[in-house]
Amino acid sequence: MGTPYEPPATPGPALPRSGSDAAYREEVPIPLDDLGAPVPVPVPVCRVVSLVPSLTEALAASCPDLLVGATDWCTRPAGLDVARVRGTKNPDLDAIAALAPDLVVANMEENRELDVRRLRERGVPVWVTRIETVPDAFASMRRLFTEVIGLHQDPPWLSEAEARWPVTVPAAHTRVVVPIWRDPWMIVGTPTFTADLLARAGYAVCSPSPGRYPHADLAEMDDPGLADLALLPDEPYVFSQDDGPEAFSRIPTRLISGRLITWYGPALLEAADELLGNAG
């Protein structure tokens, strides 16, 4: 494996952007977000609030001068100095509006439709992403950065990550169960970004029940007939050496960074190092 990619501790230079004067689009078609909702944004976009940790990291690595607000859960890059607007599921709408953003970025799975609707009712443009596969992540972020924010080129990390992740899903070499919560146990199912990412690394995500994030009994998960390995991430539940592995007696366990299997953005480069071993 190569050296894991780390976004710069201090924001790097902004990439070239379209537009010169802050004026609303008049003759340019209003862009549609990943859910098909029209999102009227000014040209250029100058102030962005992110409600998604992985998108915050991507914005900070690509156009750091635009990012003015993020949630308390947005921990990357380290030392990010922007206004905080509470959590992903309970954002402070007044604080967001007070930042006068040209754009708020959200995610269908990460954020509540109610909060998106209430922001839009206040006249705040909200761009909602829908990302369930690795190719979805590349396509969605490319649209966000080039069509909406107005970068003239892909951020370097985006092009590099896209080149390193396989386009087709290879044959699986390991069946895995991936718990994401305990008491009660919940696991990763399909269709989810995590399941697709792991599949592209040769890990087939298995579940005794259908659904994206079904509940499961421990006895069902700890079954060699279902899985060869339990992958225990450190988010959203913080599995650790002392909390998680001791519950499994029939299949082995492996601790893994939750960020590497759930975040789309620059983390995809580190995930390639860890799961694919094809360092650039």
For CA atoms 89, 41, 35, 129, give the dihedral sign. negative
pTM: 0.87
What distance in Å separates the CA atoms of residue 27 and residue 25, rounded to the nearest whole number? 6
Please answer whether residues 266 and 157 qualify as being in contact, where contact means their C-beta atoms are separated by less than 8 angstroms. Answer: yes
Task: Tell which CATH classification among 3.50.30.50, 3.40.50.1980, 3.30.200.210, 3.90.870.40 matches the domain 174-276.
Answer: 3.40.50.1980
Same fold, 23-163 and 174-276: yes
- The residue extents of the domains of the chain are 23-163, 174-276
β pairing state of 253-256 and 229-233: parallel
The secondary element (H helix, E strand) that includes residue 166 is none
Tokens of 216: 């499961």
Query: Along the 280 residues of the chain, how does pLDDT read in single tens digits?
Result: 333 323 333 344 445 444 433 444 455 689 999 999 999 999 999 999 999 999 999 999 999 999 999 999 999 999 999 999 999 999 999 999 999 999 999 999 999 999 999 999 999 999 999 999 999 999 999 999 999 999 999 999 999 999 999 999 999 999 999 999 999 999 999 999 999 999 999 999 999 999 999 999 999 999 999 999 999 999 999 999 999 999 999 999 999 999 999 999 999 999 999 999 754 4
CA distances 263 to 56, 57, 83, Å, are: 10, 9, 21
State the number of CA atoms in the 13 A half-sphere of 184 facing the CB. Answer: 6
- Fold classification of 23-163 (topology level): Rossmann fold (3.40.50)
Burial annotation 225-257 (CB, 10 A radius, 16+ → b, else e):
ebbbbbbbbebebebeeeebbebbeebebeebb
